[in-house]
């Protein structure tokens, strides 16, 4: 006998109010999720103005399509997927080739083992911000958003091997930037 786990959205009543078009509910949902979604935008886009624009576009899209949210997963994860898709679209619009190297399956480059050094969050954010768009987006999706290389490959229309090699190079470049 197997038990099926059913997810219960803690903000289900609020989401239902949004479906009914109640303005106060939209503001409450925005207030609940905007900070976390803005952080994702900033990390992926590395530009505050673009991040604000994508955040607003994402909430508009979410509210227009709220009837598509089925409650099988958290509303936050559904919204996060919209935000990430909009970030990727913005980066593609900004520069057509987000992968800085030729599309090819390259072997991963081993990282040199060095003594561990502690860095502040601000130092890490700054270094991530200095990465090329292709490196930064793959690093962000893999490390921070828990996307697999297969999911990244599908999202960016690249091969899984390219995702892995770009991630490896991004880590190497990030370490190089951190040591400066």
pLDDT tens, position by position, 12-26: 999 999 999 998 999
Tell me the average pLDDT of the chain.
85
The pLDDT value given to residue 77? 93
- Specify the higher pLDDT residue, 174 or 106: 174
* pLDDT(119) > 80: no
* Percent residues over pLDDT 70 in the chain: 84
CATH of the domain at 84: 1.10.1740.10
47 in a structural domain = yes
Q: Are residues 85 and 125 in the same domain?
A: no
Instruction: Decide if 54 is inside a domain.
Output: yes
Q: Are residues 74 and 128 in the same domain?
A: no
Model confidence at 64: pLDDT above 90:
yes
Residue 86, pLDDT above cutoff 50: yes
Question: Does 131 reside within a domain?
Answer: yes
- Residue 120 pLDDT level (bands cut at 50, 70, 90): confident
**Is residue 105 within 8 Å of residue 159, measured between CB atoms?**
yes
Q: Is residue 114 part of a domain?
A: no
Q: Kindly report the CA angle at 51 between 42 and 175, in degrees rounded to 5?
A: 25
Residue 102, judged by CB atoms within 10 A of its CB (0-12, 13-18, 19+), counts as: exposed
Question: Residues 78, 127: one domain?
Answer: no
Name the token pair of 159. Answer: 């091969």
pLDDT at 114: 52
pLDDT at 4: 67
139 or 108, greater pLDDT? 139
pLDDT score for 116: 57
Specify whether 78 is located in the same domain as 150: no
Report d(CA 142, CA 11) in Å as an integer. Answer: 28
Residue 76 has pLDDT above 70, yes or no: yes
- Is the domain of 88 the same as that of 127? no
Last residue of a domain, one of 94, 110, 133: 94
Structural domain including 38 reads 12-94
The domain boundary residue, chosen from 50, 78, 94: 94
Domain membership of residue 145 (yes or no) is yes
Task: Quote the number of domains for the chain.
Answer: 2
Average pLDDT for 74-92? 93
Question: Is 116 contained in some domain?
Answer: no
Q: What is the C-alpha separation between 36 and 25, in angstroms, rounded?
A: 18
What percent of the chain lies above the pLDDT cut of 90? 54
Residues 89 and 128 in one domain: no
In a domain, 105, yes or no: no
């Amino acid at each position: 006998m197997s038990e099926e786990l059913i997810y219960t959205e803690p903000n289900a009543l609020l989401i239902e109010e949004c479906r009914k078009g109640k303005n106060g509910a939209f503001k409450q949902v925005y207030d609940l999720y905007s900070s976390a979604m803005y952080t994702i935008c900033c990390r992926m886009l590395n530009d505050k103005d673009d991040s604000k624009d994508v955040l607003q576009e994402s909430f508009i899209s979410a509210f227009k399509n709220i009837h598509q949210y089925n409650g099988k997963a958290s509303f936050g994860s559904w919204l996060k997927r919209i935000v990430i898709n909009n970030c990727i679209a913005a980066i593609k619009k900004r520069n057509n080739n987000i992968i800085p190297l030729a599309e090819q399956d390259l072997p991963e480059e081993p990282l040199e083992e060095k003594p561990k050094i502690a860095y502040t969050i601000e130092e890490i954010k700054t270094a991530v911000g200095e990465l090329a768009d292709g490196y930064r987006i793959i690093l962000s999706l893999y490390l921070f958003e828990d996307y697999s290389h297969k999911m990244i490959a599908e999202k960016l229309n690249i091969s899984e091997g390219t995702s892995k090699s770009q991630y490896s190079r991004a880590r190497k470049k990030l370490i190089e930037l951190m040591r400066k």
